[in-house]
Structure 1
Amino acid sequence: MARGMIRYWAAAKDAAGVQEEPFDAENLAELVVNVTAGRDELARVARRSSFLVDGHPVGTRAHETVVLADGATVEVLPPFAGG
């Protein structure tokens, strides 16, 4: 089980009610399930968001395959308007 920090940006920050919080999770899928439990708006935003793990884009990889290292930083980036 990895321990790290999840950071929320823009609409994700508003939905989470915090800018960042610690996490315990094995992979990105488990992390998303854990942080969105009982937080319907955050779950809605997370479904549309992109993720960075230690500064690296997750892209289209299945979240179950993104293993988190101890001390990882995960960033939740909702879609941004504009160009």
Structure 2
Amino acid sequence: MAETKVIRVRYWAAAKAAAGTDSDDVPVAGPTTLADLRAAAVALHPGTRLAEVLAACSTLVGDRPVGRADPASVVIEAGSSVEFLPPFAGG
């Protein structure tokens, strides 16, 4: 039997509020793009503002910031962790 592969997605602040949880384990068949991972995460939380919030988030893959890279070009390996960090006010 094939082992289930997942990417651990962690949500912070407004993303956590929109998802209603602080994390999800998103099942994947293998490496996936950040764009596809975002779509899968949003699909886990229908009827929420999660898509809108994630579009505004900074993203870390492991401990590496994604920056302004095209989400369709960012490849994430199964077993990785991804963190969505909404803009924070204050200091």
What TM-score, normalized to structure 2? 0.83
Q: Max radius of gyration: which structure? A: 2
Rounded to whole Å, the distance in 2 between the matches of 1:6 and 1:64 is: 17
| CA spacing shift, 1:39–1:6, aligned 2, 3 Å | farther
Gaps of 5+ in 2: none
Q: Is the Cα–Cα contact under 8 Å of residues 24 and 41 in structure 2 kept in the other structure?
A: no
- Does residue 1:66 correspond to 2:74, yes or no? yes
Gaps of 5+ in 1: none
Q: How many residues are aligned here?
A: 82
Q: Letter of the aligned partner of 1:17 in structure 2?
A: G
Q: Letter of the aligned partner of 1:63 in structure 2?
A: P
| CA spacing shift, 1:13–1:64, aligned 2, 3 Å | same
Runs of 4+ in 1 over 6 A off after TM superposition: none
Q: CA deviation at 1:39?
A: 4.0
Q: Is the Cα–Cα contact under 8 Å of residues 53 and 73 in structure 1 kept in the other structure?
A: yes
- Does residue 1:13 correspond to 2:20, yes or no? no
